[in-house]
A and B are shown apart, each in its own frame.
Chain A
Amino acid sequence: MTTPPQRVADALVALAGVGDGAESVDVSVLLATTLADRTHQVVGADACAVVLAPESEGQRTRKTRSGSSPAPSGAAAESWQVVSSHPGLRQLERDATRWGEGPAPDCLRRRASLPPIALDSTPTRTRWPRYSARAKDAGFSRVAVLLLSGARRPIGAVVLLSTGADTMSRQALELGRSLADVASRSLVHEAELRRSRIRVAQLEHALASRIVIEQAKGVIAAQLSATMDDAFALLRAHARTHGRLLPEVAREVIDGKLAIGTGQAPGTRGGAAVRTSRSATHENGPLDHR
């Protein structure tokens, strides 16, 4: 059997390697899976689940009146991610986030790890009636939780369950704690990268949309001999009337799939402009109405 320090070293190597060459998969889930797998061995628990809070959690918490409580509740539970070493445990932890009851929600609310506690003790039964009953039915007798903390808010929890009474020593949990810290840093970093990717995509989309809209204004202005302002008003009116996005409509205009104000949209301001069109060149053009 390998010694605990060796296991920790192996676990650290495994955590460090997560996401290498993985472009398309969710690295957070890979990290959580590795963490669940390794912590469970290092701590000597019989089952382990990693619960990750949704990223928008901070914003949602500020809106609620409960203030400091980041505990999950209601429909929002869908965005919580749970990975587990044990199939039944995954569902239990999902339910726990939905109920807002159990070791993981408590750990996140208190922003602190919880030492091992017996599932049939009075405090446990009182605080977590549904959770403790289900966990006991599954054959577990003790539970401990390690907090995954980010720079500003908790990002998740590692739930460790055992069947025996004297498992999960303080020392073993200390080792698990260090793994959780390493994983937390990787998870925070991964979340930052994800946010940055989203912001880059949003900026690119906004800039590209502006180009398409300006080009469509030019197309409409030439077709109707209208000013750029009038062309834009027509484009926007079409998008609004048809409940469509402006860049989408603009794209169809420049691709010649949509002619605005040339008879297809009667009653628009461009109607009058059509009659004043001065150039013969555009009558046979691909962008003209038939």
Chain B
Amino acid sequence: MKPVEDRSTWAALAWARAARAHDRAQHEAALAKEYEFQAARTDDAMYLQLAETHRRMEACHLSSARLQESYARNATRWTARTGKGPQFMSGVAEACGTSSATLALLAADHTQLAFAASDAPSQAAQDLEYMLGEGPCTDAAGQRRPVHLTGTEIEAHWPGYGPALTALGIGEVAAVPLQPADDTGQCLGALAAFDPRPGLVESGALRAIGAALARTVLLDPDADPTLYGGVDHRDTINQAAGMLAVRASCPVPHALALIKARAFADGVSPRQLAEAVISGDLNLV
């Protein structure tokens, strides 16, 4: 648990980031307006295109301002209480019209580097994806396009992950890649929302939230890639993989694969299994 001072500091930081995001949105809006004026005056399609680009950036900054504000409000409320601290991802989930949203930061080879989740079901879903190596974040980031599946489609699409996900009581999943710019191949990972509000994908809202996360929340010079301490780096699991490699005389990647497979087979979270490996309660050799 983070000390209370941290949370009030984080709330203040989030309000400041929200204010800066509003300023930038205003700046983008002013540029867009200027180009719209030029477009009307000259009838030149280039100005219309430029105006559109700046309108998109305006929407992106506004979206990021709303996420920061949502976090700041939660953090302010939590400061007065005890218990688990506020999660940035809760605000992201709220914006998606659900309580379950998760974000995976992925390497170029699609291995998971870190993740953040808003609640227990989204954390369980992200654990499944981590253990099985398949799922909405892997697909969205790997193919650089949105993923949207419901009901039986989920089980048909992912033979391992699908049935395990629906067993969590989840009936719909939507994911978007986290791309810092439209026209580069760069991709940070993906954002997935479970049982989101109707129309989240069709309206382009999920894509806008993903853009705000990728461009300003995670990557901007003003960014906080730890999401106020909400990002989980799976430290315990990696430590356990190192230990297991020594005990089993195998390479570290094999030990990590063994931990994932055993956790899935036993129906426990990879973190729980890793803790048992580290404490010596579980002998996988």
Spell out A's residues near B (CB within 8 Å): 151, 182, 185, 192-193, 196-197, 199-200, 203-204, 206-208, 210-211, 214-223, 228, 254, 256, 279, 281-282, 284-288
Contact = CB atoms under 8 A, between A and B. Distances in A.
Contact of B180 (A200, A211, A215, A216): A200
B240 interface: yes
Given A204-B108, A208-B107, A214-B233, 9 more contacts: A199-B180, A208-B113, A211-B113, A218-B239, A218-B242, A218-B244, A219-B242, A219-B252, A228-B239
B181 A210 contact: no
A200 B218 CA distance: 9
B265 interface: no
Interface stretch (B66-74, B183-191, B194-202): B183-191
Return the 8 tightest CB-CB contacts between A and B, nearest first. Answer: A218-B242, A222-B246, A214-B238, A207-B113, A218-B239, A219-B242, A222-B243, A285-B249
Contact of A218 (B46, B107, B245): B245
B205 interface: no
Interface residues of B, number: 37
A281 B285 contact: yes
Nearest to B239: A218
5 contacts: A200-B188, A203-B219, A207-B105, A210-B235, A211-B234
Contacts of A182: 46
Contacts, number: 109
A228 B242 CA distance: 11
Given A193-B181, A281-B285, A215 B252 contact: yes
Q: Does more than half of chain A's interface fall in helix, strand or loop, or is it mixed?
A: helix
B222 to A, nearest CB: 12
B97 interface: no
> Could you say which of A196, A211, A219 has the most chain B C-beta atoms within 10 Å of its C-beta?
A211
A222 B238 CA distance: 13
B241 interface: yes
B85 interface: no
B181 A192 contact: yes
A152 to B, nearest CB: 10
Contact of B184 (A185, A197, A221, A222): A197
Given A214-B238, A221-B239, A279 B184 contact: no
B252 A196 contact: no
Contact of B243 (A218, A256, A284, A286): A218
Contacts of B50: 185
A192 B183 CA distance: 11
A251 B233 CA distance: 17
Given A199-B219, A207-B233, A281-B247, A215 B108 contact: no
B225 A281 contact: no
B114 interface: yes
B184 A282 contact: no
Contacts of A220: 242
Contacts of B184: 193, 196-197
B113 A219 contact: no
Contacts of B248: 281
A197 B186 contact: yes
A192 B114 CA distance: 25
Contacts of A214: 233, 235, 238-239, 242
A178 to B, nearest CB: 10
B105 A215 contact: no
B280 to A, nearest CB: 9
B219 A215 contact: no
A197 B46 CA distance: 26
Given A218-B243, A254-B252, A196 B233 contact: no
Contacts of A196: 180-181, 184, 186, 219
B249 A286 contact: yes
A54 to B, nearest CB: 18
A219 B181 contact: no
A285 to B, nearest CB: 4
Interface in B242-264: 242-249, 251-252, 256
B219 A221 contact: no
B186 A211 contact: no
A223 B245 CA distance: 10
A106 to B, nearest CB: 28
A282 B234 CA distance: 25
A133 B246 CA distance: 73
